[in-house]
Structure 1
């Protein structure tokens, strides 16, 4: 199975349904994907604290 492009991810009905359920806008999700792709291309890791993580590592920290 081949990885999906960002465009394919944004058009996928199941992903859109999950975004609606989580109340995440398509624009916000697109920006997150673009930012992650840019960081991956540049080899940059961004770790930031968030009150929603309650001290747990963010997704960015867990991926690196």
Structure 2
């Protein structure tokens, strides 16, 4: 499993989508969901068991 921070933003979401298209390895996607984070960027992964989204702040 890989750990991605900011995975709901434009760059992070595209990285996660690309990673899962090329790999069977799971992704733990961690994002604070501020102005740049948008869960709509990850809609296609809603039923993908390899993707786990956690809303949180890495500063906590």
TM-score (norm 1): 0.29
TM-score (norm 2): 0.30
- Structure with the bigger percentage of strand: 2
- Structure with the bigger percentage of helix: 1
Q: Which has the higher contact order (CA 8 A, sep 6+)?
A: 2
